[in-house]
Structure 1
Amino acid sequence: MTGKVTANDIFDKIRTRVRCKDIMPGETLPPVRELAASLRINKNTVANAYKKLIDAGIAEANGRKGTTVRQLSNFPPQEGPHPDTVLTDISGGNPDPSMLLPLQTFLSAVNTTPRLYGESVINPGLEKFGQHWFAPVVPEQFGLTLTHGTVDTLERLLSGFINKDEQVAVEDPCFLGSKSTLLSLGVKPVAISMDNQGIRPEELRNALSSGAQGVIITARAHNPTGFSLSSRRAAEIREILAQYPQVMIIIDDHFSLISCREYHNVIPDSSRYWAVIRSFSKFLGPDFRMALVASDQDTSLRLKHRLASGTHWVSHLLQDIAEAALTSQQSSQQFNTARQHYRDKREFFIRELNKHGLSYCEDGDGINVWLSFAFPCEPVIDGMKNRGWIIRNGNDFSVGNHRSGIRLTLTTLSEEQITKLAADLAVIIRQVE
């Protein structure tokens, strides 16, 4: 570089070299002082350039280790099974397809009249359903928004309220969608550990007193643990949050209609910014990218601006199907069937584990079972793979300390398969302990 070198010049040069693979992922960039001295410029100019590289996702800061070119492998894992495997894959986190509402039954409900720019972004019938659905559990005078699913909602809420490098308190282990969204936005997660009643209140208090500007809490059937907030724990959390009315509170109630647990409110009356997200993925299917969001009026207005006609509204064709499915006479029966189905899977698995002297599961709900260990989980995962099983490493969900545990998705397993799974786990765990 010749002449007066700016931060943009340095940014462009390094970006080009990374794209041309002159600098490879994982390589450490020159120290700020060293590069500034070689270019005969102020070190702040180099620091600003490195900050731009980090903001663009090209590099990442590693403290005393310096600034390195980001590796794609550093992006968090996603949900879903391994493709083209002959092993029994229980890592994917998917619902049982047979427990979803049969959408083909409701295709005739699609209104073929074209919906045009400027029309209401949410079907009146679906809006009425949402109002009745949320009214008993959220503060009065709430706004209702329809989004493209939980992760879409998280991205819109966080990017609208939380600045890059600000802190958000999240459960640890953490829902993969929340983890990847925080990373992509450059928001710093503050890990709050959990027990079988939900997040630990004192850790939440510490995170908020240290400056966290938001908190994401799963109301029921937490993914991956299956834990749900108890009434007592919800009251403790609500009392803490009341002291921080400026903090954005985001509640993920993804299992809502098919949960075995009651919904317990954690949003205090004093809270200014809050949102409760209920997606349709667990009862209409993951491909049904849709969620209803109840929130305070200011948050609702911001979301609606982002989803207004002419920009990103949810297709009315999908809304037609969702409305018909959710308001049909058979929906309640199907939800009860799904609720019992998942409960039976979990309880049968726990009984089979108990037969082998193992008892790791506590008060679960949802489609997953979480087993935590006092020893590294990798030998268990490798041992189970040798016996024909693919299992999700609990560290995938970690946002704080290494998380030794495994998540099992039992949704489509037969009783014979669950019996074999428990027996294989017992053998491997005793070998590893």
Structure 2
Amino acid sequence: MTYDLWADAERAIATGDGGRARYQRLASFIHEAVRSGLLRPGDQLPTVRELASRLGVSVTTVVSAYSALREDGAVQGEVGRGTFVRGTEPAQRPDVPVSLAAPGAPATWRRRALANTEHRLTRAHPDAVDLMRGSSNSEYLPLPVLKRAWTSVVRSLTVDDIQYPVSTDPEPELVAQLLALFEKDGIPVDESDLMVGSSTIQFLSLVTELLRRDRPGDWPLTVAVEEPGYQAAMDVLERFGCGLVGMATDEHGVLPRHLRAALEGGAALVVLTPRASNPAGTTWSAERLRELADVVASHPDVLVLEDDYFADGSTSRPGSLLADQRVAHRIVHVRSFAKVIAPDLRIAAAVVRSTLHSSLAQVKYLTEGWTSRTTQRVLARVLAADETAELLGRARAAFAERRSAAEELLAEGLQEAGGSVQHAHDGLYTWIRLPPGSDASMVAEHVARGGFLVAPGEPFFIRPGAGRFLRLNSGSATADEIAAASKAIVLAATGADARTGSRLTP
């Protein structure tokens, strides 16, 4: 398993917390792990001595924590067997991957799992090339254009520009650029449909907050997500207390029958990625878009958030459910610019129709206020620059070339052993299914020793336990790095050490 729960526990008890004793911080951490589903009924906790050694604390600290948990009814001790999370039976994994987090539970294990793994491997292999993170290739971020845009905007600022705004509508200069981009992608948009925020995650949070306010009878909300899918969105939704239903994908996106099953099972919100999905690179075909629209149309109370996070780095134009009048009024289409312009700009644009637009704008105003007008103008001028268009054209070609090279090398090297590579139509990532019996954590360890950091795939699923997948950020690599990293992955995945053994890096 990639996610190391006890590594998080070690950090939690090492951090001061209002003067509470270490055993209290440990007991609180285990409580939260139980509430969020990371520890489930029937799970056995480490022995007192094992956990004391793992965390670098005294045996007395662990004994006191376990005692406090027993008094609270969170765990039970069984003579001769150990300490177990309380429950009528051991945790079971249902056929349909559903995770129901307790309201407010800090179920953010996925991002922490990736961060912990990266920290550990980077510390042990400081010279390794990082192809693990979701970042775009810095070579294709328009820094010179961005600097000129900032200078131009700042020079033209007036005192009114830095005051509280009279209106929270998007800046006209940015609106003009957005309308042109959406038109180019064949997505029908009117100026009155536009909203501006900081990110897809912000809009997802706003939609969830809106549903919690307007549909209290549906709470806790069930949300259908792609699986594998965007780990940060899963963390945020579970943080709200939502339950997650996974929908399987192929190279053309979510399978319609899985979407139908999720909606028939009670999902009130669906999160879909039209193109370049993270981590698998799936992209809708025209036929798949029609099929998904038919399913959504048959469930008139469901909202859909489209996460078009890679739009301006993409070579494909799959369209949007906004084009189908049966469902357009229930779609929140989000186009963000972090991957291809600059993550630190914190700008995303949403297309939302009619009543839903008014309701969402109200929630945003009450919770977030407005999005910086200065930053909106900067983005507008970056998008308007010919140099940006030229740079993005080169980036698209490079990403496609590197994805193709990685897919070919990895498929050839893994096929005989039973591994495979998901064909990605677009985006930065290469999604790898390792040969049977492989442990992605062990493979990542060996690949790091070979000079490259890659992401174990477990955090891209609803539940921990998916141990046969890796994500490679092929878009952030050079051609030579793709070749070397692919070779390292194949060697690590087809060797005996990929299947057995303990973690190499402390």
**Length-normalised TM-score, structure 1:** 0.80
Which amino acid in structure 1 is aligned with residue 172 of structure 2? P
Q: Which residue of 2 aligns with 1:100?
A: 141
- Provide structure 2 residue ranges, at least 5 long, that are not aligned to the other structure: 1-19, 36-71, 74-84, 92-100, 213-217, 500-506
| Separation in 2, partners of 1:231, 1:22 | 52
Q: Secondary structure at the match of 1:93?
A: coil
Q: Secondary structure at the match of 2:340?
A: helix
Q: Secondary structure at the match of 2:472?
A: strand
Q: What displacement does 1:142 show?
A: 6.0
Bigger shift: 79-88 or 206-215?
79-88
Q: What displacement does 1:385 show?
A: 2.6
Q: Which residue of 2 aligns with 1:128?
A: 176
8 A contact 2:281–2:427 mirrored in 1 = yes
Q: Secondary structure at the match of 2:488?
A: helix
Indicate the percent of aligned positions where both proteins have the same amino acid: 20
Q: Which residue of 2 aligns with 1:198?
A: 253
Q: Which residue of 1 aligns with 2:325?
A: 269
**Residues 18 and 362 of structure 1: is their aligned pair in 2 closer, same or farther, counting only changes over 3 Å?**
same
Q: Which residue of 1 aligns with 2:29?
A: 25
**Residues 287 and 64 of structure 1: is their aligned pair in 2 closer, same or farther, counting only changes over 3 Å?**
farther
Q: What displacement does 1:26 show?
A: 1.5
Q: What displacement does 1:204 show?
A: 0.9
Which amino acid in structure 2 is aligned with residue 199 of structure 1? V
8 A contact 1:226–1:363 mirrored in 2 = yes
Equivalences for residues 16-415 of structure 1 within 5 A: 21=25, 23-27=27-31, 75-77=109-111, 82=119, 85-102=126-143, 103-110=146-153, 111-114=156-159, 115=161, 116-121=163-168, 122-135=170-183, 136-138=186-188, 143-162=193-212, 164-267=219-322, 268-271=324-327, 272-308=329-365, 312-353=369-410, 356=413, 358=415, 360-373=421-434, 374-376=436-438, 377-400=440-463, 402-403=465-466, 404-415=468-479
8 A contact 1:109–1:320 mirrored in 2 = no
1:159-191 per-position Cα deviation (integer Å, ceiling 9, x unaligned): 112554221110001202211111111111100
Q: What displacement does 1:355 show?
A: 5.5
**Number of residues paired by the alignment?**
389
| Separation in 2, partners of 1:223, 1:22 | 34
**Residues 139 and 210 of structure 1: is their aligned pair in 2 closer, same or farther, counting only changes over 3 Å?**
farther
Q: Secondary structure at the match of 1:277?
A: strand
Q: Secondary structure at the match of 2:424?
A: coil
**Length-normalised TM-score, structure 2:** 0.69
State the superposition RMSD in angstroms: 3.2
More helix by share: 2
Bigger shift: 348-357 or 412-421?
348-357
8 A contact 2:279–2:431 mirrored in 1 = yes
8 A contact 1:118–1:309 mirrored in 2 = no
